[in-house]
Amino acid sequence: MSFDSAKIDTNVAHSTPDMLKHVSSTRLTPNLSVHTFAVQANQHFNRSFRPGQHLTIQFPRDLDPVSGPQNLSEEDRRLSFTPYHVEYADNGVIETISLMARNGRVTGLLGLPRLRDPLVAIIVQAGGGFPPAITDSAQRLICIAGGTGIAPFIAMAVEMNRKSSAEDGEKKPVLMCSIRANDFGAVEYLLTHQLLRPRDWSMDRQSSAILWEQTIGVASKDVAAQERKCSLHREIV
């Protein structure tokens, strides 16, 4: 079964482009942040976009409020994300989307304070995602992810749970993911804010035990590596 990889130019034949206005940013760890944007989009986008898809976003020339527009090219300012959370109004219109990203050269600029207007970006494309043939399948899905790759699965599971009935409990997907020790803060944030909700997933004891052992193993290795570095540093000094 192939994935739906078609991309949609969200602004074709529309006089007003689909816009995102920055609302908030939260740094979860030294490496990870989450960013929430208010969606100012036309009805075509609201009807066609589905959780699990990625967005290509063009940020403005003044993205870097410190170094100015000469610091980043147009290509540098065009980034793709997969929202991990989509918030809907009562009428079904998308109100906000939330993104999770590594704190890089460009993404690290998204949450910087701005003296005048808030950061506004244009949605260039929306595409990818999981087709209905997969999300509506009668078979249980096993979702495997690592790091920020968990984002599309979180959004997909929430959408599936929103459409499901009580009788569909046995169809809930299984999530298997690897987590770096220094990214535990991100998982805590997702759980605390009920963005990663255990009720959206099938809780398989064996899988959970294996994942827990793997996670603890990774954490132990990272801690051991740090201890070796500290020991080596003391010997050199």
Other C-beta atoms lying within 10 Å of the C-beta of residue 56: 17
Output the pLDDT for position 208. Answer: 43
- At the top level of CATH, the class of 7-203 is mainly beta
Residue 102 has pLDDT above 70, yes or no: yes
* AA identity, residue 1: M
Residue with tokens 């046995």: 170
pLDDT band at 140 (very low <50, low <70, confident <90, very high): confident
How confident is the model over 151-168, as pLDDT tens digits? 888 888 877 777 766 566
Q: Using DSSP, how many helices (H) and how many strands (E) does the chain show?
A: 5, 10
Contact 210, 56 (CB under 8 A): no
- What are the Cα distances from residue 99, in Å, to 16, 73, 118? 23, 22, 17
Greater pLDDT, 59 or 46: 59
Contact 129, 6 (CB under 8 A): no
Output the pLDDT for position 109. Answer: 95
H-type alpha helices, the chain: 43-48, 132-135, 151-163, 184-192, 205-236
Contact 3, 122 (CB under 8 A): no
Output the pLDDT for position 210. Answer: 42
Output the pLDDT for position 235. Answer: 40
Q: What phi, psi does 170 have (nearest 5°)? A: -75, -10
Other C-beta atoms lying within 10 Å of the C-beta of residue 2: 7
Residue 95 has pLDDT above 90, yes or no: yes
How confident is the model over 12-47, as pLDDT tens digits? 555 578 999 999 999 999 999 999 999 998 877 887
For residue 203, give both structure tokens. 């809780």
How confident is the model over 173-183, as pLDDT tens digits? 888 888 888 88
Q: How far apart are the first and last CA of the chain?
A: 58
How confident is the model over 165-212, as pLDDT tens digits? 656 656 788 888 888 888 888 888 988 988 888 888 875 443 444 444
Residue 213 has pLDDT above 60, yes or no: no
Angle at 203 between CA 199 and CA 205, to 5 degrees: 155
- pTM, rounded to two decimals: 0.76
Mean of the per-residue pLDDT values of the chain: 78
Distance CA 236, CA 14 (A): 64
Residue with tokens 């995602």: 129
Distance CA 87, CA 75 (A): 29
Distance CA 226, CA 229 (A): 5
Distance CA 122, CA 59 (A): 7
